[in-house]
């Protein structure tokens, strides 16, 4: 038997049934029916009463009269108002404006116009009336008179007309009867084709100095702290896998 001191009434024993720790999957607890709602409710649990909103009937949509919730004034009866006199406070009316006789300084003889003295005729430019817009009568410039230039004059005597035409190639001195090509029709051949070709030179790009072009690491590219071949390496540890609390320990020393 083990010599460990146990605290409390609990002792290690084999579980009476399967528990969630013995499974690597989420376990059967996800397969249980729910206890909320009315669909697929757990039959082992009590279900509280559930209520839902009903639909609005069509009879209420045709009723347009106000219900008893409206505040009806107390002086309104089934035949109208009860006849009790009611008074209200109105605003103060404005005083009537009395006729004010103008004094001597209120007159303006210079504005009397033609009624007091002669004046030169005055004219003003009025706006164009709508009648001009509807008037579709053509003006004098809308008529097209026949031209008096050229031989096509109808009622006028025209002088003789002459015109210069282009020179025709047919029957002229420069007509090509043989249809032979001229000297400019031939393509000029490079003289290097049938003569000695002189040397040709071209300017090339700037070349670098000859040497080793391979890339070599600089002093900052080395990491001496990572070298473990020439010195000891400190131990390194990592976090292990979390085991279940219900896994039985490995017992090697068992009394026969």
Whether residue 159 is predicted with pLDDT greater than 80 in this model: the reply is no
Are 40 and 47 within 8 A, CB to CB?
A: no
The rounded mean pLDDT for the chain is: 77
In this prediction the pTM is 0.14
CB contact set of 47 (below 8 Å; sequence gap of 6+): 38, 41
Measured between alpha carbons, how far is 60 from 145 in angstroms, rounded to an integer? 83
Give the model confidence (pLDDT) of 22-59 as tens digits. 766 665 556 778 888 888 888 888 888 877 777 766 65
**Angle made by CA atoms 32, 34, 38, in degrees to the nearest 5:** 140
Give the model confidence (pLDDT) of 196-224 as tens digits. 888 888 888 777 777 777 888 888 888 88
- The band of 13, judged by pLDDT with boundaries at 50, 70 and 90, is confident
In DSSP notation, 43-104 reads TTS-------PPPPPHHHHH--S--TTS---TTEETTEE-------PPPPPPPPPPPPPP-G
Tokens 């206890």, residue located? 35
């Amino acid at each position: 038997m083990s010599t460990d001191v146990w605290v409390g009434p609990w002792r290690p024993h084999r579980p009476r049934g399967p528990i969630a720790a013995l499974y690597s999957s989420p376990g059967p607890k996800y397969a249980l029916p729910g206890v909320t709602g009315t669909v697929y409710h757990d039959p082992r649990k009590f279900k509280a009463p559930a209520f839902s909103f009903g639909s609005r009937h069509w009879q209420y949509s045709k009723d347009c009269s106000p219900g008893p919730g409206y505040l009806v004034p107390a002086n309104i009866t089934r035949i109208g108002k009860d006849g009790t006199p009611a008074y209200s406070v109105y605003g103060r009316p404005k005083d009537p404006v009395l006729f004010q006789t103008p004094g001597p300084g209120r007159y303006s003889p210079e504005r009397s116009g033609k009624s007091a003295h002669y004046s030169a005729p005055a004219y003003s430019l009025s706006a164009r009336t709508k009648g001009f817009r509807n008037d579709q009568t053509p003006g004098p410039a809308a008529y097209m008179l026949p031209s008096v230039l050229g031989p096509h004059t109808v009622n006028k005597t025209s002088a003789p007309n002459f015109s210069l035409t282009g020179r025709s190639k047919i029957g002229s001195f420069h007509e090509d009867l043989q249809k032979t090509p001229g000297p400019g029709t031939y393509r000029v051949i490079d003289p290097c084709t049938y003569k000695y070709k002189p040397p040709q030179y071209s300017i090339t790009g700037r070349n670098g100095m000859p040497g080793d072009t391979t890339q070599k690491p600089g002093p900052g590219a080395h990491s001496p702290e990572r070298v473990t071949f020439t010195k000891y390496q400190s131990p390194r540890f990592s976090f292990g896998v979390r085991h279940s609390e219900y896994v039985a320990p490995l017992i090697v020393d068992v009394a026969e």
